Amino acid sequence: MGRRAEGRAIRKLPPDALKTYRRLLGYLRPHRGMFSVGVVGMVIFAATDAGWAAFVKFFLDGTFVDRDPRMVWLVPTAIVALFVVRGVGDFMQTYCPGHVGRHIIKTLRGQIFDRYLHLPVTYFDRSSSGVLLSRLTFNTEQVATATTDSITIFIRDTLAIIGLISYLLYLNPKLTLISLVVAPVIAVLIRRINLLFRRYSQRIQNSMGDVTRVAKEAIEAPRVVRVFNAQDFEAAQFEQVTERNRRSHMKLMFTKSLSNPVVQTITAIGLAVVMYLATLDAVAGRMTVGEFTSFIAALIFVTGPLRRLVNVAGPLQAGIAAAQSIFEVLDLPPEPSGGTRPVERSRGDVEYEDVRFTYPGTAEPVLHGISFRASAGQTVAIVGRSGSGKSTIMNLLPRFYEASSGSVRLDGSDVREYPLDRLRAQMSFVSQDVVLFNDTIRSNIAFGHPATDEQIVAAADAARVSEFAKQLPQGLDTVVGDRGTLLSGGQRQRIAIARALLRDTPILILDEATSALDTELERQIQEQLEELMHERTTLVIAHRLSTVEKADRIVVMDGGRIIESGTHAELLARGGHYAVLHRMQFNE
């Protein structure tokens, strides 16, 4: 009954789900040796089910019919032997697939994380970090259930049912065939249950992404939540998403809870009919007491594996739904690797020629015909109101975004002609939102760049990191906390400068690098930035115009267009847009 029903349930999966499941099973291949050992354990464990039914006949007929005196020691020996064999099979079927399952989880998480590292920046602009983390953690756990636990149950209990039905056919073919009449009804029920399980599992995974997102936002911004007294608002948001998750779980639980009684009731009706006919045979003397009891025992034993096969549909469908969400990420194309033009260290000539850009999925262009040049060693500042397109211009140089038309050039060649990794190796980046990792100061300075201890210390000294690091208990080996929260804004900024100094690239990008600092600290950091900018091509996005007065050229943006360009003195003399901005800030 169970083998036919479960087999039909898997065959009736929607084509996309069946394709996903086959792809998922491909992750078993590297571990097929260990899994095969587990299958042997399943065979042993399943064989003991039929063994117990046969033992009942052996015990009753040998003891009460034949009155064999050897039963005194044969029965206890057989019991111990069956338990030992069953225990060995149980260990093999539990440990070996579990070992394989953890390897599959590790492999999938590694693949997802690697894909996250190589997806375009635009993907993260439109994706929730909570959903991305949920796929990496929650969904991969469910996949392991589909690839190992569900297969274990399917193989073991299918073998158990085959063994028990074979034994039933051996004892009484007629009664066994009658008992199989309920199999088609159970198969139809399992198919319907599978569809419901898959639907509710997808809803649960989506709601878990929302739960992770809301929790992550509140945890990462504790000061904002408290200063705005938004605890009740965040609690209400969390209550909403967790309630949605709870309702989806309850629908799944209701289906799972209802499926067992329904299947068992149908099975019980078939069992009652078979019991009636078996009792008639026993009364008529056509079955011995051992055969009768053994037949009933084997028939009852079938219900356990059958129930587990019905229950496996839920985790199986949840795993398939989780695998689909994972494969959606793995099938996304990574960033293009770029061209093949060789470059070790560029001169640093940067040029934008008639560059236009429109964000994917939008119709309104953000940049309109941008053209300017920063020769090697020059500093070009880009200023303008918020939303004028300053950051977008910067994102085009390292190819976080691709220009819709026009050309961004490095040393006279389009940036698309260079290999992407070598292109970005020419640039360092310092912004107002300094990204530090929950590691030591030393590791944050050397992030992504192999360096000797002497080089790290030299960069720390040049950026004046050593000044405050000496006051810390572990010096440069002090852990900075999540996103550097254990340090002040100025200290974090100095670490970012030290990181850029150590990298020693010909191009430097400064994105509002001092706008979050007070005036005194800004003056100190600006001195270190000027040291960093020395003999480097520097592109500066600035809000405070006082920080860019020394720039070789200032480009003024408005509405995605360059409306003015020149030196600080030239722009003031014109009395145009820049002069107005400068006068406003000076008055402030």
pLDDT band at 79 (very low <50, low <70, confident <90, very high): confident
Answer whether residue 72 shows pLDDT above 50: yes
Report strand pairing: 553-558 vs 561-566: antiparallel
pTM attached to this predicted model: 0.75
| Residues 179-190, mean pLDDT to the nearest whole number | 68
Query: Residues of the chain with pLDDT > 70: what percent?
Result: 89
pLDDT category of residue 517 using cuts at 50, 70 and 90: low
Q: What is the pLDDT averaged over residues 548-556?
A: 89
145 contacts: CB under 8 Å, gap ≥ 6: 101, 315, 316, 318, 319
What pLDDT is recorded for position 226?
65
Q: 360 and 401 in contact (C-beta within 8 Å)?
A: no
**For residue 183, what pLDDT band results from cuts at 50, 70 and 90?**
low
3-state secondary structure of 406: strand
Which CATH number is correct for 350-587, 1.10.260.40, 3.20.20.10, 1.10.1200.10, 3.40.50.300?
Answer: 3.40.50.300
* pLDDT at residue 9 tops 70: no
User: Please, which pLDDT band fits residue 351 given cuts at 50, 70 and 90?
Assistant: very high
Q: Closest by alpha carbon to 262, among 192, 198, 201?
A: 192
Asked if residues 286 and 173 have their Cβ atoms less than 8 Å apart, the reply is: no
**Domains of the chain by residue range:** 2-330, 350-587
Predicted confidence at residue 284, as pLDDT, reads 75
Place of tokens 């193989």: 155
Confidence of residue 4 (pLDDT cuts 50, 70, 90): very low
User: What is the rounded CA–CA span in Å between residue 539 and residue 376?
Assistant: 11
The CATH class that applies to domain 2-330 reads mainly alpha
Average pLDDT over residues 321-336: 89
Task: Average the pLDDT over each of 271-280, 358-367, 432-441 and give the range with the smallest value.
Answer: 271-280
Residue 92 has pLDDT above 90, yes or no: yes
Of 174-188, 293-307, 350-364, highest mean pLDDT:
350-364
Quick one: pLDDT at residue 372?
A: 93
192 vs 387: which has the higher pLDDT: 387
Q: How confident is the model at residue 15 (pLDDT cuts 50, 70, 90)?
A: low
Calpha distance 371→9 (Å, rounded): 62
Write the CB contacts of 219 (distance below 8 Å, at least 6 apart in sequence).
Answer: none
